[in-house]
Amino acid sequence: MKIIQSFIIALLLFSFYCGAIVIRHDIKPEKYQIKQTQYPSVVDLNFLTGTLISPQWVLTAAHGTLYMPAKQEVIINQQKYYVEFIIEHPEYNKNNLNHDMALLKLDRPVLNTATTDIYTLADEKEQHVWFVGRGDIGNGLVGITGSTKVLNNAENIVENAVGLWITFDFDSPSNNALPLEGISGPGDSGGPAFINTLSGLKVAGVSSHQRENNDGEGLYGVKEYYTRTSVHNQWIESIKAKNDDELSQLALKRPVYSIVNSTKNETDALIGRYQLAGGVVLFIEACAEEICYRWGNSTTQTEVFKTTEKRWFTPEINRSFTVYSSDNGIVNRIVLDDFHGKRELIKQDQVIALKNKISTRGRKLLTHVEPVWPKRAVEESIEGSVTMSFAINTDGSVSHIQIIDSTPNGMFETASKKALSQWKYAELDKPLFDIKTRFDYSL
């Protein structure tokens, strides 16, 4: 759920991943937990939530579509689909979130999964609704408290239904709260407000934003705004009726990238710490069989793949980057191209100082590998350093690595030795011993 204060949107860079439900503080969380089969039409869009309203169409919020890459992968009922077209409402206003609604057409119809129709009546006021979400969770007393991977639901009553919006208050237990009172949480943007009718659930609203939340998102008393589907039904039906040629004229444009094979030297050259002009840090590091990027204040890793000689991209989000190297082939900067525009990040190379020193002694470092952060250090934001001595053999390989000093003890030694062991120097007439270097691990 995106925050609005005084009608100004704060687009949070790290609010991509689906949130859950904010609940009463006096009710056990297990009471809110459900199975996906209870709401089969609810779709996880990675950084949004959506509703399957017909076999090939997903309804969600427009304010999250700028994050969507071309051909975004969506898993529904354990089957893989791709988003073919992203259609924002033509009157969507990013400044006040009016008409905060979008439709996604999938590459093919979803089979064996129930869809949920739009609620078209104008009698939403005082109707009972259910919200659904997965991810971050919290309660009305303290706000957002952490993450969960289970699916949750919560109930509420429509306080008002006027113009473009239906709204809800998050009532405290002392203010006549419902047994499973709640609201949407961070990342639930685009998720449905379900009204139960005689013919089953209907989508009455699309999660958009909260107001009156100056003390924090998700606290008792906040007012939640959902884009009203009843006043947008005509637009929804008109979009669903268009053919692909017509949709391609209306759809948001996204570059389409193909994955090409990368060499180990290319991936090794990319690994390291990069910094924006404002001080924000981005790490490119190994993850499983691939390489990933990770922002400095996050533990979330996102895979990146090579698409051209200098360009890499991620299929999970609308983001690519171009790689720039020095004359000797060392990567020294990257330029991100995403929903924020183009931004340059300078590589904070741990071996620059060492290379400057060794150039005066007739040695040339040809290849170096940056250490991979230990998972525990990432998760607990642990910083430190490792000082080592080593030898350079006549063939340029590294040997005799010894730890001289390490802080904190036992955290970064293995990663440092593994990285240093892969360094390669120009050939030497005779081996050199007792070369010293230090790896710094700082967020």
Instruction: Quote the distance between the C-alpha of residue 373 and its chain's center.
Output: 20
Q: Give the pairing type, strands 365-367 and 165-169.
A: unpaired
Under 8 Å between Cβ of 137 and 183: no
Token couple for 49: 């939530």
Q: What is the mean pLDDT of each run of 10 residues along the chain (443 residues)?
A: 33 37 93 93 90 98 94 94 98 95 98 96 97 81 79 95 96 95 82 95 94 75 94 98 98 95 89 83 85 84 93 94 85 91 82 48 70 80 86 91 90 90 86 83 71
Residue 134 carries which DSSP code?
Answer: E
Three-class secondary structure of residue 46 per DSSP: coil
Question: To 5 degrees, how large is the angle CA 178–CA 180–CA 181?
Answer: 55
Comparing C-alpha atoms, which of 322, 321, 284 is closest to residue 303? 284
pTM of the model: 0.76
The Cα-based distances of 280 to 287, 351, 364, 436 in angstroms read 21, 21, 31, 29
Residue 64 carries which DSSP code?
Answer: G
Token couple for 13: 């860079």
Residue 186 confidence (pLDDT): 65
Under 8 Å between Cβ of 77 and 112: yes
Residue 424 confidence (pLDDT): 85
Under 8 Å between Cβ of 45 and 86: no
Rounded distance between C-alpha atoms, residue 192 and residue 226, angstroms: 8
Range 297-305, long-range pairs (CB < 8 A, 24+ positions) = 297/14, 297/381, 297/443, 298/14, 299/378, 299/379, 300/14, 300/17, 305/257, 305/259, 305/262
Question: To 5 degrees, how large is the angle CA 247–CA 70–CA 151?
Answer: 100
Q: Give the pairing type, strands 302-306 and 290-295.
A: antiparallel
Q: How crowded is residue 76: how many other Cβ atoms within 10 Å of its Cβ?
A: 20
Token couple for 337: 């191209």
Structural domains of the chain, ranges and CATH numbers in brackets: 2-250 (2.40.10.120), 264-347 (2.40.128.50), 352-441 (3.30.2420.10)
Q: What's the chain's length in residues?
A: 443
Three-class secondary structure of residue 44 per DSSP: strand
240-264 core/surface letters (b: 16 or more CB in 10 A; e: else): eeeeeeebeeebeeeeebeeeebee
Residue 40 carries which DSSP code?
Answer: T
Three-class secondary structure of residue 396 per DSSP: coil
Residue 363 confidence (pLDDT): 66
Rounded distance between C-alpha atoms, residue 248 and residue 82, angstroms: 15
Residue 320 confidence (pLDDT): 96
Token couple for 168: 């809800």
Which residue is listed with tokens 């922002």? 295
Comparing C-alpha atoms, which of 60, 54, 207 is closest to residue 129? 207
Under 8 Å between Cβ of 328 and 319: no
Supply the Cα-derived Rg of the chain in whole angstroms. Answer: 26
Comparing C-alpha atoms, which of 12, 81, 77 is closest to residue 47? 12
Rounded distance between C-alpha atoms, residue 238 and residue 244, angstroms: 13
Rounded distance between C-alpha atoms, residue 22 and residue 180, angstroms: 10
